[in-house]
Structure 1
Amino acid sequence: MERDFEDHCWKDVMSPEDLALYTPYRRETYVGQRPALLAIDLYNSAYQGGARPVHEVAKEFPSACGEYAWNAIEPTKQLLAMAHARGLPVVYTTKEQRKEALPHKTQSTNRRGGRTGEDPWGIFDAFKPEPDDLTIYKVRASGFFGTPLIAHLTQYGVDTVIVCGESTSGCVRASVADAYSYGFHVVVVEECTYDRSLLSHKVNLFDMHHKYADVMHMDEVAEHLEAFPEV
């Protein structure tokens, strides 16, 4: 069933006046002919504390996204499985851990520390990269900033970057804006992205949908990917 352009999670927070204001942005959404999957920061620290409400887990694990992260596990597994089955390039990002590569004087925030658990920046077990997948280590929000990501995507011949991961308002949005700026068509999979703040998640998806990307539901993306032969 074809969905309305605004049939997304932000419907309950955007006013009719705001939706009307963005009417000129209505268009057909799509996945291009040479897509790659970019999985943003699917690391352990986002899942620590389990599938509890964020306000509970954040007391112990400030980087955790609680139930929002856990709700996205199954659709993200489905997305990764479809990409792998069709031989799409799959790229993960995570935090750079080498001390000599980290910025020493400039930090974006002074958020308090907390427990990080074992291997906080390793990819969560449900999404472990396969041998041919690429992992990009970054020191800033965008997966493109100061990394070789654009070189790899160019070498792959990619025309579309499908994005999943976290957080919607932070590293996902920064990476989406850069991918758009580099000339890629960008697809953000709604059910496969999440944020500590549900409001930030919804508003940032709305912004990206009308500025940088096609926000699509998982079943819509799956329908497009099913047209690609399995390898």
Structure 2
Amino acid sequence: MSEVKQYCWHDVIDSDTRDIYQSYERVTFIGMKPAVLLIDLYNLVYEGGSLPVKDVVKKYPSSCGIHAWNAIEPTKQLISLARSHQIPLIYSTQGTNRIQATNRQRNVVHDNSYEIHEAFQLAPTDIIIQKERASCFFGTPLIAYLTRMDIDSLIICGESTSGCVRATAVDAYSYGFHPVIVEECTFDRSIISHKVSLFDLHHKYADVMSLGEVKGHLDLRLSAF
């Protein structure tokens, strides 16, 4: 299947490497009880506007620049799609303790830096969890929420692909939830990190899908009722 569908990583993963992973081909799917998990779509990653990352990080080290802004519209479409199917939406953001794994340069943090960006209109039914580490599962009530709602799949988007998205997808798989990562709604500071991470996740822990594929799966799921 990966040779038929042109995934975003085809221009950075050579054909020999893709051939090695042919045995990982399978039918991708979304379970009957999915939730959408939107990872770290807070103001900090959009600071500086839609400039190239190499320019915006000079002043805003935590910004994902143009990559974050390019993902806004497809993410809004995913949110609208989820609401139309009555699929729960769960947002993550940085916790107040701000535990840091490294001493890399970071933005000046303001009171609203970790608020969900205004492009994404929250509904009263949406859930927001605060986390201190990369994974949305670590030290948070996420599993309790998912268990209470009988969730079997997580449709994942947000940032960064090589960091919090990856850590969360691996933990979702480890805890028995089926992870689906939406290609256009996920982003990173580095295009190479983004594409290689999606390639690796798709062939080990998650189903990477386009937004159109997600819509198709959800429409098929709806027709099954």
**CA drift at 1:96:** 0.5
Q: Which residue of 2 aligns with 1:200?
A: 193
Matched, 1:211 2:204: yes
CA RMSD of aligned residues (A): 1.7
Contact 1:32 1:185 in 2 (8 A): yes
Q: Which residue of 2 aligns with 1:119?
A: 112
Q: Which residue of 2 aligns with 1:95?
A: 94
Distance in 1 separating the partners of 2:174 and 2:4: 23
**CA drift at 1:5:** 6.0
Distance in 1 separating the partners of 2:3 and 2:79: 26
How do residues 1-231 of structure 1 correspond to structure 2 at under 5 angstroms? 4=3, 7-97=6-96, 99=97, 102-103=98-99, 107-116=100-109, 119-227=112-220, 229=222
Contact 1:5 1:26 in 2 (8 A): no
Contact 2:39 2:91 in 1 (8 A): yes
* Residues 141-187 of structure 1: per-residue CA shift (max 9 Å, x gap): 00000001011101110111000000000000000000000111110
Contact 1:72 1:192 in 2 (8 A): yes
Structure 1 residue runs without a partner (length 5+): none
1:30 aligned partner, one-letter code? F
Distance in 2 separating the partners of 1:14 and 1:186: 22
2:118 aligned partner, one-letter code? D
Distance in 2 separating the partners of 1:118 and 1:135: 17
Distance in 1 separating the partners of 2:65 and 2:110: 15
2:195 aligned partner, one-letter code? K
Structure 2 residue runs without a partner (length 5+): none
Distance in 2 separating the partners of 1:24 and 1:3: 11
Percent identity over paired residues: 52
Distance in 2 separating the partners of 1:159 and 1:5: 28
**CA drift at 1:30:** 1.2
Distance in 2 separating the partners of 1:57 and 1:5: 36
Contact 1:47 1:69 in 2 (8 A): yes
Distance in 2 separating the partners of 1:153 and 1:92: 13
Contact 1:61 1:116 in 2 (8 A): no
**CA drift at 1:228:** 5.0
Distance in 2 separating the partners of 1:72 and 1:27: 27
Distance in 2 separating the partners of 1:73 and 1:128: 12
1:22 aligned partner, one-letter code? Y
Distance in 2 separating the partners of 1:152 and 1:87: 16
After TM superposition, the score normalised by the length of structure 2 is: 0.94
Distance in 1 separating the partners of 2:133 and 2:178: 22
